Amino acid sequence: NAGVTQTPKFQVLKTGQSMTLQCAQDMNHNSMYWYRQDPGMGLRLIYYSASEGTTDKGEVPNGYNVSRLNKREFSLRLESAAPSQTSVYFCASSDGPRGNQPQHFGDGTRLSIL
Amino acid sequence: DAKTTQPTSMDCAEGRAANLPCNHSTISGNEYVYWYRQIHSQGPQYIIHGLKNNETNEMASLIITEDRKSSTLILPHATLRDTAVYYCIEISNQGGKLIFGQGTELSVKP
């Protein structure tokens, strides 16, 4: 069972470069999410998409953009990478945005910006 | 900040039940209790959730006290692969972001 698949698993960028993190889910979920996790800290929500065609800002959206390409795919773009964006990025999906609908996570993209 | 309180760490012998407590004394009537775990270098894994009643699935059991101020996650027969950080989280029925506190680092020992 694939679940939530994130690519790439690892990436090193130079300051100012751009890149797109890809996320796809095969569970027919309506909602998708992007989080970042820094050492010693919990997950922080960057952006989410409650349903296909909608996106909303989370707790830490600055420096990021997202695209809900279709029901399966939700990408996260860094337009001009900064060292402060060095982190582990997790994508998640759920049936819907309500509290009784669990989020299921991918294994993350480890991003280093020099 | 996380609204739940968990012990920082616990040990459990392989094959025994692991009982992980969580205090959520300010939980409101429409908030669910969720449990996730994170094994080193992997994404968080959903385990179980409940509102008022006890719940059981193929991974674990969740026991919620009658006043809903605390709960216990039970892994009935812990294995070495259950070594992870376990997070207890409150989520409103309206949805919302997951707030992961410090969690409990469970070490299952042979």
Average pLDDT over residues A60-73: 95
Averaged pLDDT, A76-95: 96
**pLDDT (mean) for A9-36:** 96
How high is the pLDDT of residue B69? Answer: 92
Indicate if the pLDDT at residue A39 is higher than 90. no
Question: What pLDDT is stored for residue A37 in this prediction?
Answer: 92
CB proximity under 8 Å: B 74-93 to A: 91-93
Interface with B, mutate which of A36, A45, A47, A103 (most B CBs under 10 A): A103
Q: What is the mean pLDDT of residues A40-65?
A: 90
**CB neighbourhood size of A19 (10 A):** 15
pLDDT of residue A11: 96
Please answer whether residues A40 and A48 qualify as being in contact, where contact means their C-beta atoms are separated by less than 8 angstroms. Answer: no
To probe the interface with B, which of A1, A35, A37, A43 has the most B CB atoms within 10 Å?
Answer: A43
* Interface list for B 19-78 with A (CB within 8 A): 30-32, 34, 41-46, 49, 51
Indicate the residue of A42, A104, A106 with minimum beta-carbon distance to B46.
A104
Q: Is A89 on the interface with B (CB under 8 A)?
A: no
**How much is the pLDDT for B1?**
62
Residues in chain A: 114
Burial letters B97-109, b for 16+ CB under 10 A, else e: bbbbbbbbbbebe
- Identify the pLDDT of residue A42: 79
**Segment B23-81, tens digit of pLDDT:** 998 888 888 999 999 998 789 999 999 999 999 999 999 999 999 999 999 999 999 99
